[in-house]
């Protein structure tokens, strides 16, 4: 099943090219770090991707692991010298092997062992094509992360974002670490507000190619795209329902921006769910699909509200300050990330919906477009601090930040995709 998934993933998109590069700068570490030794896999030398190095990079950048060089080659069948690994400071050891099969694919076998208890934790294998070696490494890192922390890893997930270089706008998709960039849309007109469907097969976004904002749905496997909101006035801010059957959008059919639901297949008529004399925009569904959070100035300044997905009276959520926008709900529905104006700058705030407690995830500047990782442990946002638009992934405890910059130009509008199945 895993081999089939990887084959399907390879068929989705064509690569942008070798000239596209991302740089990651990491600051901070987690409250605790698990020390793990990663050995060089048998048969891994000379391959186009250094699988153990990618695994180590993933785990290290998570802030939850301290990666140690095992100092040797260890296959999945070799006996691990746990005493020697403990002397290196490791509590766990990852070993493995990579074998080229007659059909040109590779079998990757890997094993994780407990150096403290001197016992095997488990092992698995993957069969992949050459172009999927890096993705396979991300899957291995996910497996290690979950076995040692109990939480699902996000290393095999993908992000979508918009880049601008010169007069060209590109909708890009990349691995969580910015590698393996592909570009499903390249346009001379602006592209904004990309949004993943929950199953990861489609992207909704706003394109200005018709000289006005129109919402499109793009099926990644086929490249087919179709307008799903192209009504009079502005069509913007698409957000998927959990079942993928509809999109919440902001439309100005009747003048002011209001929230509507439209079918994701482009058929049918829009159904209005807010009715105010103010501007209502930036809708987003709760994970259970029962509520919609949105931004409105109905109280005199931009604030975040929550209402039933079927309509009705909204409840105001934010009260601190006079500017709170761009709500995003965590996958468990317990937290809200949004952009607030504080002390003259724009910061990303994480708010516990039950207690109201807040954590600042950025230092203040020109932050925008927060998006949760599917495990809820990270928030990615765009920042203009430092004189160039780039992306930052911040851990929800505020301890670790990864900044991604690109030679593609300015990058913005990030959205984090779902778990890979």
In order of their start, the domains of the chain are 31-149 (3.40.50.10070), 158-416 (2.120.10.30)
Q: Taking 90 as the threshold, does the pLDDT of residue 274 lie above it?
A: yes
pLDDT: which is higher, 396 or 24: 396
The per-residue pLDDT for 14 is 42
The per-residue pLDDT for 6 is 40
Q: Three-class SS string for the chain?
A: CHHHHHHHHHHHCCECCCCCCEEEEEECCCCCCEEEEEEECECCCCCCCCHHHHHHHHHHHCCCEEEEEEEEECCCCCCCCHHHHHHCCCCEEEEEEEEECCCCCEEEEEEEEECCCCEEEEEEEEEECHHHHHHHHHHHHHHHHHHHHCCCCCCCCEEEEEEEECCEEEEEEEECCCCCCEEEEEECCCEEEEEECCCCCEEEEEECCCCCCEEEEEECCCCCEEEEECCCCCEEEEEECCCCCEEEEEECCCCCCEEEEEECCCCCCCEECCCCCCCEEEEEECCCCCEEEEEECCCCCCEEEEEECCCCCCEECCCCCCCEEEEEECCCCCEEEEEEEECCEEEEEEEECCCCCEEECCCCEECEEEEECCCCCEEEEEECHHHCCEEEEEECCCCCEEEEEECCCEEEEEEECCCCC
The confidence band for 105, taking pLDDT boundaries of 50, 70 and 90, is very high
The per-residue pLDDT for 41 is 98
Q: What's the CA gap between 153 and 175, in Å, rounded?
A: 13
Helix (H, G, I), strand (E, B) or coil at 270: coil
Q: What's the CA gap between 390 and 242, in Å, rounded?
A: 29
The per-residue pLDDT for 234 is 96
Cβ neighbours of 397 (radius 10 Å): 14
The per-residue pLDDT for 31 is 66
The confidence band for 22, taking pLDDT boundaries of 50, 70 and 90, is low
DSSP state of 15: B
The per-residue pLDDT for 405 is 86
The confidence band for 15, taking pLDDT boundaries of 50, 70 and 90, is very low
Least confident range of 42-56, 126-140, 394-408: 394-408
The confidence band for 30, taking pLDDT boundaries of 50, 70 and 90, is low
Q: What's the CA gap between 252 and 260, in Å, rounded?
A: 10
The confidence band for 11, taking pLDDT boundaries of 50, 70 and 90, is very low
Per-residue pLDDT tens digits for 286-335: 999 999 999 999 999 999 999 999 999 999 999 999 999 999 999 999 99
Q: What is the pTM assigned to this prediction? A: 0.91
The per-residue pLDDT for 36 is 98
The per-residue pLDDT for 121 is 97
Terminal CA-CA length for the chain = 10
The per-residue pLDDT for 2 is 43
Q: Taking 90 as the threshold, does the pLDDT of residue 192 lie above it?
A: yes
- Which residue bears the tokens 């931009």? 302
Q: Taking 90 as the threshold, does the pLDDT of residue 236 lie above it?
A: yes
Helix (H, G, I), strand (E, B) or coil at 385: helix
Q: Taking 70 as the threshold, does the pLDDT of residue 20 lie above it?
A: no
What are the structure tokens assigned to 162, written together?
């918009």
Least confident range of 230-234, 338-342, 346-350, 399-403: 399-403
Q: Taking 60 as the threshold, does the pLDDT of residue 10 lie above it?
A: no
The confidence band for 183, taking pLDDT boundaries of 50, 70 and 90, is very high
């Amino acid at each position: 099943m895993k081999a089939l998934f990887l084959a399907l993933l390879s068929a989705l998109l064509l690569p942008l090219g070798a000239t596209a590069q991302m740089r990651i700068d990491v600051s901070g570490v987690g409250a605790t770090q698990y020390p793990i030794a990663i050995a060089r896999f048998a048969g891994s030398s000379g391959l186009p991707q250094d699988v153990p190095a990618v695994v180590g990079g993933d785990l290290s950048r998570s802030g939850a692991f301290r990666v140690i060089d095992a100092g040797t080659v260890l296959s999945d069948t070799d006996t691990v010298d746990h005493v020697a690994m403990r002397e290196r400071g490791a509590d766990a050891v990852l070993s493995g092997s990579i074998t080229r099969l007659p059909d040109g694919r590779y079998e990757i076998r890997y094993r994780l062992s407990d150096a403290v208890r001197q016992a095997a934790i488990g092992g698995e294998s993957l069969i992949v094509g050459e172009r999927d070696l890096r993705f396979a490494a991300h899957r291995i890192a996910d497996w290690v992360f979950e076995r040692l922390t109990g939480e699902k890893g996000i290393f095999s997930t993908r992000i979508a974002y918009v880049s601008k270089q010169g007069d060209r706008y590109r909708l890009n998709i990349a691995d969580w670490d910015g590698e393996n960039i592909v570009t499903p849309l390249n346009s001379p007109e602006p592209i904004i507000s990309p949004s993943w469907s929950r199953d990861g097969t489609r992207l909704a976004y706003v394109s200005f190619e018709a000289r006005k904002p129109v919402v499109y749905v793009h099926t990644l496997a086929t490249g087919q795209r179709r307008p799903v909101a192209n009504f009079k006035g502005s069509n913007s801010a698409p957000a998927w329902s959990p079942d993928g059957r509809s999109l919440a959008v902001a439309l100005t059919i009747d003048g002011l921006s209001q929230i509507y639901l439209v079918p994701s297949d482009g058929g049918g008529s829009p159904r209005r769910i807010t009715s105010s004399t103010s501007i209502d925009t930036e809708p987003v569904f709760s994970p259970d699909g029962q509520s919609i959070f949105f931004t409105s100035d109905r109280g005199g300044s931009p604030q975040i509200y929550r209402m039933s997905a079927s309509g009705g009276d909204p409840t105001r959520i934010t009260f601190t300050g006079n500017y709170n926008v761009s709500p995003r709900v965590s996958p468990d529905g317990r937290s809200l990330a949004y952009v607030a104006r504080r002390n003259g700058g724009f910061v990303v705030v994480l708010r516990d919906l039950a207690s109201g407690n807040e954590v600042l995830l950025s230092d203040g500047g020109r932050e925008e477009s927060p998006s949760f990782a599917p495990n809820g442990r990270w928030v990615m946002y765009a920042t203009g601090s430092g004189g160039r638009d780039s992306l930052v992934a911040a851990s929800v405890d505020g301890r670790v930040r990864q900044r991604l910059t690109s030679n593609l130009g300015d990058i913005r509008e990030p959205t984090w995709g779902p778990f890979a199945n």
